[in-house]
Amino acid sequence: MPEGLSPIEAGKQLHEHTTEPHQPAAFTGATRHSRAVQIGEALLLSLVTIAAAWSGYAAAKWGTESRIEIAQAATLRNLATRADLSALSTRNFDSSTFNAWFTAYTLNSPQKQGIAERRFRPEFKVAFDAWMATDPVRNPRAPPGPTYMPQYRLADQVKADALDREAVAASAAGHHSGVVGDDYIRITVFLAAVLFLIGIGSTFKPHTIRHALITIGSLLLILATVLMLQQPGLPS
């Protein structure tokens, strides 16, 4: 016993030396391994969070693009319908003026024929002159009327056909954008599964289970990354 140390103090020092925790090398190694697992989980969570945020944003953008294109297709179809109705109205007018001329022709009234011809639209007059050049009175192979001639064209009908083609293209583009948005949502589901696996992995103490969950999560992350790289970028 050291000199100047009372029996009580000596007992306290002896108790402290006997109860001092001793950490073996295996325990230190296990602690380091646990930290490595936690770091791996944190790194994986960080990557998955960023990827999930990007995938969700891309899905929203493509969904918006799909709705815009489908709405544009609907607008184009409405415009095509209006142009088609206008073309039909013009065709009816041409038919009525031609019927007036034909009635005057059957009455053998050149004056009335002239009045009817003055009512012709300039575009219809071109087709009418071309039809008359076929000698429809004597030529049995002549077209039935001016509206059957290749020279007969309706600007509104051409416009309606063009708008209808644009509507079909816009509808197809909207469908494609919707499919891309669905693909990004599917990728987001995979990434959400990774977050779930890593989240529940921290509740298990055995490292074997945590390693298995990290491995599965990593494979899902790789799969999601490959699928994401196969998708087009954000819509312009």
Mean pLDDT value across residues 99-112: 92
Length of the chain as a residue count: 236
Residue 77's domain spans which residues?
56-230
- pLDDT above 80 for 94: yes
- Res. 33 pLDDT band, cuts 50 70 90: low
Confirm whether 42 is domain-assigned.
no
Confirm whether 48 is domain-assigned.
no
Confirm whether 14 is domain-assigned.
no
> What DSSP character marks residue 146?
G
- pLDDT above 70 for 18: no
Mean pLDDT value across residues 168-194: 93
What's the pLDDT score for residue 184?
93
Give the separation between CA 19 and CA 28, rounded to whole angstroms.
19
What's the pLDDT score for residue 58?
92
- Res. 193 pLDDT band, cuts 50 70 90: confident
pLDDT, tens digit (0-9, with 9 covering 90-100), for 113-148: 999 999 999 999 999 999 999 999 899 899 999 999
Give the separation between CA 127 and CA 121, rounded to whole angstroms.
10
pLDDT, tens digit (0-9, with 9 covering 90-100), for 36-74: 767 777 888 888 888 889 999 999 999 999 999 999 999
Confirm whether 75 is domain-assigned.
yes
Confirm whether 86 is domain-assigned.
yes
Give the separation between CA 163 and CA 158, rounded to whole angstroms.
9
Residue 33, number of CB atoms within 10 A of its CB = 11
Angle CA 73–171–69, to nearest 5? 60
Confirm whether 173 is domain-assigned.
yes
Confirm whether 162 is domain-assigned.
yes
Asked whether 84 and 209 are in contact (CB, 8 A), the reply is: no
Number of domains in the chain: 1
For the chain, give the mean pLDDT: 84
Q: Is 154 exposed, middle or buried (0-12, 13-18, 19+ CB in 10 A)?
A: buried
Beta strands in the chain (DSSP E): none
Cα first-last separation, the chain: 86
